[in-house]
Amino acid sequence: KLNQEEKEVKDEKEVPIDPVLQADMDEFLDECFNEGSLDSFSQVLYMVMSEGVPASLPHSRCGRTALVAAATHGLSHVALQLLRIGADPTAKDKSGKTPYDHAVENGHHECAKILSTFNHDDENKNNQEEDDPEDNFLLDVYYHAFSEELIDHDLMLALVKHIHLTMAKGSILIFLPGYDDIVTLRDLIQGCSEMNTMKFQIFTLHSNMQTLDQKKVFNPLPSARKIIISTNIAETSITIDDVVYVIDSCKVKEKYYESDGGVCSLQCVWTSRACCQQRAGRAGRTKPGLCYHMCSKRRFKTLPLNSIPEILRVPLQELCLHTKLLAPGNTPIADFLSKALEPPSFLAVRNAVTLLKTIGALTPMEDLTEIGQHLLDLTVEPKLGKMLLYACVMKCLDPILTIVCSLANKEPFQISLNPENRKKGSSARKEFAADSYSDHMALLRAFQAWQMARANGAEKAFCSRNLICGATMEMIVGYRSQLLAQLRALGLVKARGSGDIKDVNLNSEKWHVVKAVLVSGLYPSIARVDRDTSTLRTSKEVKVAFHPSSTLHRGGGVSGSQKSVQSLPTDWVVFEEISRVGRFCFIRCNTLVTPLTVALFGGPLRVSTAALSQRANPPGLSSDSDSEVEESNSSPDTAILTLDDWMAFTADASDAISVYYLRQKLCALVIRRMSNPAKPMTPLDEQILNAVVHVLGAEEKNIGLNQPTGIGQRPKPLTLDSPNWRMRVDEEQYRHENKYHPQYSHAELANNFYQNNYAYRNGQRSGWREPAQGFSPQYGGPKSPMSPAKAMGSMEKYVDSEANTRYFVVRADEVHSVEALQASAGGLFNQNTAKKLVKIKQEGSRVVVFFSCSGASKFIGAATITDGSGATTASGTNNNTPTLEWLSTQHVPYHMVRHIGNSLTGGGRVSSSRDGTELCGPAGRALLAALTARRRHGYGHHAHPRPIQKHAADG
């Protein structure tokens, strides 16, 4: 009977369609794809239900159906209606893609879930007929009582109890999607009296939990059973040998990015069959094991074979920027990425490119700008890289460097299963933030406090008391060194004189300058207070709230959220990420800023003269609005400064004009510095910078925001017995004194530009008001054999003689040749090169040699020539072979230092240097920093080493 029905369906599909109906359907399908409106789909539904047109009739040219159009636009209710009237979810277009594929590509996961369910509907029906009728009945009863979309903790407890009380010895590993589920199941197990008849111990694994407790999971327990409750961190990251039983919830939390709204969401979804197989493989590493998948057979067969590729669910700004290095000239980024095996949606790529244009990384024609060129050479995402560039211009590098490294690595603050410890950790975070209204301040203060505790030998106690991950802090130290070396290589941080490490930290003690740099990098991630409703809103979301982990969050549900907003002394908040949990949106890592800071540093890099207008309503302000802006427009002495479709400010005309022109001059200064970093700042540049710094400080003082102290203190060097002692080199070699230059006096800041063109007088505002109230929110390796003390002593000598140091590259054919040289401390290979270097040493210069092996495509250490007299042979002659003292024996692949160019050879890469080639000072110092920095991760996965990524899959 079933085969007969399939034959009838097949014959129905093969019935020819009238050409007139086909032409009409083609027209309607074109409208569905181009417009995505309900009217266009209504016409298709009419044709199917009234004219007898098959619901899966494809377009005559592209082969796409109405279901594909609904999936592309994410219209779940339309897709559901089409499926119910017979649309085929397995039909492929001419590109070989199903409606499910189109829904996933465009980020419409709810629609993809519906299509996935219908896709296997017939298969499920067949399976039900084949399965035991009694089993099917019990399963249906269970699904009526409990939704399979939820985690059944009681069922898991019953299974754990069954294994613990009736089955042989062996640890139990339970996979759950997130933190909440881990806590719930742990409490259920501990509260079950029947479990206590036999000894057991519970362990929890989560990427944000304290590592000291998690390490105990590897210790054997001869007299008790281990019950390990974990997220997917236990899938591949760790292996526990004594696990015999695995309970798989078949769920995982994955991070998805909505490109149209810029919102991230951590969604609990069904995992793939490949992941289920990987989890099952955790059982029985040393003896036979069992795996229980907590889903039915019919559900298991509907699971996708593999997980959704990351390129389809993460922001694409960094990928689009690096595409410019790979794509042929004049090839649009979207066209190039469309050729990927799993191409991202056109909308996601377009939004990413638009943002890169907004921040000044790309021109309107998608060519790299000066800022874009520099961002490519920094191993952070574009928004964090832009912060570093602005920090060099605004001269507040140290605090920004720490904040950027903290944001690039995983969260240093950990979570605890103990409610009392969680409260203690939250209090510690708020204590670090003090009264600064800033989560970024909490990150900065935590790092400084950790370094002080480490210097005093109290690191473990400090981390335990404040729930801070020491390993993450060590990664921040290493990443700081790496980024500092890259800024040196770009010429933004010089060895001496104007632009040296002291000069680029002149304003590091001024928190208002640091916040301005945060705004420049994080835009458009800016939220504004709506005082009428006591809520926050962004350009894409009408209502958002502070994340519970934020120091700006006061707790207490809706009323607490409103109190948090009402207590803010100003209306603008810059944030690092916005995430969606159900129907609520939360902003993470927030800092309160003044409207003047947003007006000067927010918005696109270039603003046209049309941004400044008089007697004009700002965007979204209706004609019958009674806002302050409209009232002010009645006066001819007011003006509107519009930065984008959402942000507009009203002020006295003189103030608005002054802010506009100061912003334009600041923009020009940034572009000049990025175009020619080697050129020192002119006196006029200094005047512009000082004016900006002073007015920002005056605005903060006028609003009543406190100025914290000590934020610009230099990082403490690691001790010689520290596992990261080599990191000290990169911090020390750019500092020659314990303090930075003294701050400029107010008299020096009050230059002619400030006096004649800006409306502030003696630190007071003369009419700058809060922004428009009536806007619309609807817009859119090998380790060194040397002792640390010996190597550090060598580096200290390097610092002292930096001005008299010359750098050279020596080529080697084989790696083992250099390793033999390191063991014997012998001379160089090529006698002509050796003679040249000995002569330079005898002339009084310090000579540093880098050993390069082209066969292995890497540098294999660095050494300094300690004796220029040469070695004497048995016959009494001098062979001009120098004696070497090794500074580093580490291996660094060429691609890790590809950003280092040698100006002495026309900017060519140092990796392409021939034997005996001399390197310029900046290139030599940057290469030495790369060879002396202690690497904690392997090479080869990225063009540059990257920080630890946040475990988005953990809840």
Which tokens hold the place of 777? 């929110």
Which tokens hold the place of 742? 């003294």
% residues pLDDT > 70 (the chain)? 78
The better pLDDT of the pair 30, 132 is held by 30
Tokens 């996601």 sit on residue:
348
Secondary structure of 781-832 in HEC code, one letter for each residue: CCCCCCCHHHHHHHHHHHHHCHHHEEEEEEEECCHHHHHHHHHHCCCCCCHH
Q: Is residue 24 predicted with pLDDT exceeding 50?
A: yes
CA–CA distances in Å: residue 664 to residues 600, 607, 644, 658, 780: 9, 8, 15, 10, 25
Q: Report the C-alpha gap between 799 and 470 in whole angstroms.
A: 29
Q: What pLDDT does 751 receive?
A: 41
The residue among 270, 341, 345 whose CA lies nearest residue 312 is 345
Q: Is residue 696 predicted with pLDDT exceeding 90?
A: yes
| CATH number where 256 lies | 3.40.50.300
Domain that holds residue 859: 788-932
DSSP 299-319: HHHHS-SSPPPGGGTS--HHH
| Cβ–Cβ < 8 Å for 200, 164 | yes
Q: Are residues 242 and 355 in the same domain?
A: no
Q: Which of 289, 308, 327 is the last residue of a domain?
A: 308
Task: Find the range with the poorest average confidence among 98-107, 136-145, 651-660, 760-769.
Answer: 760-769
Q: Are residues 84 and 201 in the same domain?
A: no
Which tokens hold the place of 609? 């003269």
Mean pLDDT of 939-954: 39
| Cβ–Cβ < 8 Å for 245, 289 | yes
Taking only the tens place, the pLDDT of each residue in 288-337 is: 889 999 888 878 888 888 887 777 777 888 889 888 888 887 888 988 99
Q: Is residue 936 predicted with pLDDT exceeding 70?
A: no
DSSP 709-767: SSTTPPPPPPPTTSTTTTHHHHHHTT--SSS-PPPPPHHHH--HHHHHH---BTTB-SS
Q: Report the C-alpha gap between 751 and 687 in whole angstroms.
A: 6
Mean pLDDT of 44-72: 81
Mean pLDDT of 805-811: 90
Q: Are residues 903 and 926 in the same domain?
A: yes
Q: CA end-to-end span of the chain, whole Å?
A: 48
Q: What pLDDT does 880 receive?
A: 53
Taking only the tens place, the pLDDT of each residue in 384-413 is: 999 999 999 999 999 999 999 999 887 888
Q: Report the C-alpha gap between 203 and 852 in whole angstroms.
A: 48
Q: Is residue 50 predicted with pLDDT exceeding 70?
A: no
| Cβ–Cβ < 8 Å for 252, 299 | no
894, exposed or middle or buried, with CB in 10 Å at 0-12, 13-18, 19+? middle
Q: Are residues 189 and 319 in the same domain?
A: no
Task: Find the range with the poorest average confidence among 224-233, 406-415, 685-694, 725-734.
Answer: 725-734
The count of domains in the chain is 4
**Is 564 contained in some domain?**
no
| CATH number where 9 lies | 1.25.40.20
Q: Are residues 297 and 339 in the same domain?
A: no
Determine the residue type at 609. T
Q: Report the C-alpha gap between 510 and 710 in whole angstroms.
A: 9
**Is 128 contained in some domain?**
no
Q: Report the C-alpha gap between 106 and 654 in whole angstroms.
A: 47
What confidence tier does 518 reach under pLDDT thresholds 50, 70, 90?
Answer: very high
What confidence tier does 692 reach under pLDDT thresholds 50, 70, 90?
Answer: very high
Q: What pLDDT does 910 receive?
A: 85
Q: What pLDDT does 954 receive?
A: 52
Q: Is residue 11 predicted with pLDDT exceeding 70?
A: no
Mean pLDDT of 151-166: 91
Beta strand pairing status for 171-175 and 243-248?
Answer: parallel
Which residue stretches of 395-506 are H helix? Answer: 397-408, 419-433, 439-455, 459-466, 470-489
Q: What pLDDT does 14 receive?
A: 45
Q: What pLDDT does 565 receive?
A: 85
| CATH number where 883 lies | 3.10.590.10
Give the dihedral sign, CA 805/810/814/818: negative
Q: Is residue 432 predicted with pLDDT exceeding 50?
A: yes
Q: Are residues 214 and 350 in the same domain?
A: no
Q: What pLDDT does 386 receive?
A: 93
Q: What pLDDT does 395 receive?
A: 92
Q: What pLDDT does 42 receive?
A: 77
Taking only the tens place, the pLDDT of each residue in 122-155 is: 445 444 445 567 777 787 787 777 777 788 888 9
| Cβ–Cβ < 8 Å for 463, 414 | no
What confidence tier does 58 reach under pLDDT thresholds 50, 70, 90?
Answer: confident
**Is 297 contained in some domain?**
yes
Q: Is residue 636 predicted with pLDDT exceeding 60?
A: no
What confidence tier does 609 reach under pLDDT thresholds 50, 70, 90?
Answer: confident
Task: Find the range with the poorest average confidence among 75-79, 141-145, 325-329, 667-671.
Answer: 141-145
Task: Find the range with the poorest average confidence among 33-37, 680-684, 782-786, 938-942.
Answer: 782-786
Q: Are residues 356 and 266 in the same domain?
A: no
Q: Is residue 545 predicted with pLDDT exceeding 80?
A: yes
**Is 455 contained in some domain?**
no
What confidence tier does 164 reach under pLDDT thresholds 50, 70, 90?
Answer: very high
Q: What is the model's pTM?
A: 0.58
Q: What pLDDT does 298 receive?
A: 79
| Cβ–Cβ < 8 Å for 810, 915 | yes
Q: Can you give the length of the chain in residues?
A: 955
Beta strand pairing status for 901-902 and 648-652?
Answer: unpaired
Q: Are residues 324 and 185 in the same domain?
A: no
Q: Report the C-alpha gap between 818 and 889 in whole angstroms.
A: 9
Residues in Cβ contact with 39 at an 8 Å cutoff, skipping those fewer than 6 apart: none
User: Averaging pLDDT over each range in 553-562, 867-876, 905-914, which range is the top one?
Assistant: 905-914
Q: Report the C-alpha gap between 830 and 808 in whole angstroms.
A: 13
User: Which helix (H) or strand (E) covers residue 504, if one does?
Assistant: none
User: Averaging pLDDT over each range in 416-420, 748-752, 805-809, 824-828, which range is the top one?
Assistant: 805-809
The better pLDDT of the pair 456, 736 is held by 456
Residues in Cβ contact with 247 at an 8 Å cutoff, skipping those fewer than 6 apart: 156, 159, 160, 172, 173, 174, 175, 291, 292, 294
Taking only the tens place, the pLDDT of each residue in 847-893 is: 999 999 887 788 888 989 886 554 444 344 444 567 888 888 888 88
Q: Report the C-alpha gap between 681 and 684 in whole angstroms.
A: 8
CA–CA distances in Å: residue 240 to residues 157, 252, 417: 22, 20, 21
Q: Report the C-alpha gap between 227 and 127 in whole angstroms.
A: 34
Hey, is 332 helix, strand or coil? coil
**Is 298 contained in some domain?**
yes
φ and ψ of 248, to 5 deg: -105, 120
Q: What pLDDT does 564 receive?
A: 79
**Is 195 contained in some domain?**
yes
**Is 345 contained in some domain?**
yes
Q: Are residues 869 and 908 in the same domain?
A: yes
Mean pLDDT of 29-42: 80
The residue among 507, 689, 674, 667 whose CA lies nearest residue 599 is 667
Give the mean pLDDT of the chain: 77
Q: Are residues 927 and 795 in the same domain?
A: yes
DSSP label of 196: G
The better pLDDT of the pair 744, 314 is held by 314
Q: Are residues 81 and 169 in the same domain?
A: no
**Is 436 contained in some domain?**
no
Residues in Cβ contact with 796 at an 8 Å cutoff, skipping those fewer than 6 apart: 732
User: Averaging pLDDT over each range in 429-443, 759-773, 941-955, which range is the top one?
Assistant: 429-443
Q: Report the C-alpha gap between 234 and 175 in whole angstroms.
A: 8
Q: What pLDDT does 854 receive?
A: 80
User: Which helix (H) or strand (E) covers residue 526, if one does?
Assistant: strand 526-530
Mean pLDDT of 234-253: 85
φ and ψ of 227, to 5 deg: -115, 110
| Cβ–Cβ < 8 Å for 878, 842 | no
Q: Which of 340, 363, 386 is the last residue of a domain?
A: 363
Q: Is residue 788 predicted with pLDDT exceeding 50?
A: no
Q: What pLDDT does 752 receive?
A: 35
Q: What pLDDT does 826 receive?
A: 58
Task: Find the range with the poorest average confidence among 331-340, 516-525, 616-625.
Answer: 616-625
Q: Are residues 61 and 203 in the same domain?
A: no
Q: Report the C-alpha gap between 261 and 540 in whole angstroms.
A: 6
What confidence tier does 775 reach under pLDDT thresholds 50, 70, 90?
Answer: very low
Q: Report the C-alpha gap between 742 and 228 in whole angstroms.
A: 56
Q: Report the C-alpha gap between 317 and 306 in whole angstroms.
A: 25
DSSP 854-917: TTTTEEEEEEEEEE-S--B-TTS-B--PPEEEEEEEEEEEGGGGTT-EEGGGTSEEGGGPPTTE
What confidence tier does 593 reach under pLDDT thresholds 50, 70, 90?
Answer: very high
| Cβ–Cβ < 8 Å for 594, 570 | yes
Q: What pLDDT does 802 receive?
A: 57
CA–CA distances in Å: residue 811 to residues 570, 830, 862, 910, 926: 60, 9, 12, 12, 19
The better pLDDT of the pair 463, 749 is held by 463
Tokens 């050479």 sit on residue:
377
Mean pLDDT of 626-651: 68
Task: Find the range with the poorest average confidence among 17-21, 56-60, 443-447.
Answer: 17-21
